């Protein structure tokens, strides 16, 4: 059974860079699609982007200019960086894996979530 | 981008009621539609994918239908443990997009 364990800084100041990582247990990141999703307090889900086993990445156009998702096969983990954060980036961030090897969705496995707060 | 619109945004029903949630895509997405359940303070959980396939371990009172632009999630007999927010999501192309959610209360 695949398990995702995520971590990263929970409190940032405006203009700083959000950095989260997600370790994968019970499977290799060399296959499948690996996504990040976020959820502002009391609001809905927003897909941030994904990296995939064919060497590509896709991002939400609304965040594309500030986001980088990368993989680390040696440590079997993947990471999210979001630059120049503002209060609007305050959210619970989730890492996730596609259910099948063929596509980013549906999202079959999720990390536990990390609350990131942006405040001066 | 293709937008996903869910309705209603919230509903209240009694235990044993049949509950239906709808999700509409702004363009056709074939059957690349998933439903997730998110209980308060918990991680979202995949219920249904390819519009109507029940994820392993999900109770059979949940079902999904639809294709193209119009989809439904049905709970045949609402149980207290079904109190949650339900989200649809399309995954035919990037960016994957979610509906706004439907909060189900008893």
Q: What is the pLDDT of residues A57-78, one digit of tens each?
A: 999 999 999 999 999 999 999 9
Task: Name the closest residue on chain A to residue B6, using Cα atoms.
Answer: A44
Do B95 and A58 make contact, defined as CB atoms within 8 angstroms? Answer: yes
Which residues of chain B are at the A interface, by a Cβ-Cβ cutoff of 8 Å? 1, 32, 34, 36, 38, 43-46, 49, 55, 87, 89-91, 94-101
**Closest to A45 (Cβ–Cβ): which among B44, B91, B95?**
B44
Tell me the per-residue pLDDT of B9-40, one tens digit each, with 9 for 90 and over.
999 999 999 999 999 999 999 999 999 999 99
Task: Residue window 39-58, chain A: list those with CB within 8 Å of chain B.
Answer: 44-47, 49-50, 58
Residue in the structure block whose two tokens are 């371990």 = B57
> Residue A92's pLDDT is what?
98
* Share above pLDDT 90 across residues of chain A, in percent, rounded to a whole number: 88
Taking only Cα atoms into account, the Rg of chain B, rounded to an integer number of angstroms, comes to: 13
The dihedral region occupied by A101, where left means phi > 0, alpha psi between -120 and 50, and beta the remainder, is alpha
Task: Name the closest residue on chain A to residue B56, using Cα atoms.
Answer: A108
The torsion angles phi and psi of A59, rounded to 5 degrees, stand at -130, 155
With contact defined as beta carbons under 8 Å apart, do B9 and B104 qualify? no
Do A59 and B34 make contact, defined as CB atoms within 8 angstroms? Answer: no
With contact defined as beta carbons under 8 Å apart, do B80 and B69 qualify? no
**Closest to B95 (Cβ–Cβ): which among A60, A108, A112?**
A60
Do B95 and A59 make contact, defined as CB atoms within 8 angstroms? Answer: yes
**Closest to A108 (Cβ–Cβ): which among B46, B99, B100?**
B46
Mutate to test the interface with A, among B94, B100, B102 (most CBs of A within 10 A): B94
With contact defined as beta carbons under 8 Å apart, do A12 and A19 qualify? no
- Is the pLDDT at A54 greater than 90? The verdict is no
Tell me the per-residue pLDDT of B49-97, one tens digit each, with 9 for 90 and over.
999 999 999 999 999 999 999 999 999 999 999 999 999 999 999 999 9
- Is the pLDDT at A15 greater than 80? The verdict is yes
């Amino acid at each position: 059974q695949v398990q995702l364990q995520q971590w990263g800084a929970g409190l940032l100041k405006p203009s700083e860079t959000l950095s989260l990582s997600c370790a994968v247990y019970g499977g290799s990141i060399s296959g499948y699609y690996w996504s990040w999703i976020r959820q502002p307090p009391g609001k809905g889900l927003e897909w941030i982007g994904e990296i995939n086993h064919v060497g590509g990445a896709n991002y939400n156009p609304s965040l594309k200019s500030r986001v980088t998702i990368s993989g680390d096969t040696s440590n079997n983990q993947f990471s999210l960086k979001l630059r120049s954060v503002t209060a609007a980036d305050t959210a619970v961030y989730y890492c996730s894996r596609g259910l099948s090897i063929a596509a980013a969705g549906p999202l079959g496995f999720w990390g536990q979530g990390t609350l990131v707060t942006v405040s001066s | 981008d293709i937008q996903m619109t869910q309705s209603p945004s919230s509903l209240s029903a009694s235990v044993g009621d049949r509950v239906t949630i709808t999700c509409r895509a702004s363009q056709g997405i074939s059957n690349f539609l998933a439903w997730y359940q998110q209980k308060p303070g918990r991680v979202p959980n995949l219920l249904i994918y390819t519009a109507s396939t029940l994820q392993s371990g999900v109770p059979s009172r949940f079902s999904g239908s639809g294709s193209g632009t119009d989809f439904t999630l049905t709970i045949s007999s609402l149980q207290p443990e079904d109190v949650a927010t339900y989200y649809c999501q399309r995954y035919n192309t990037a960016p994957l997009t979610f509906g706004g959610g439907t909060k189900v209360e008893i």
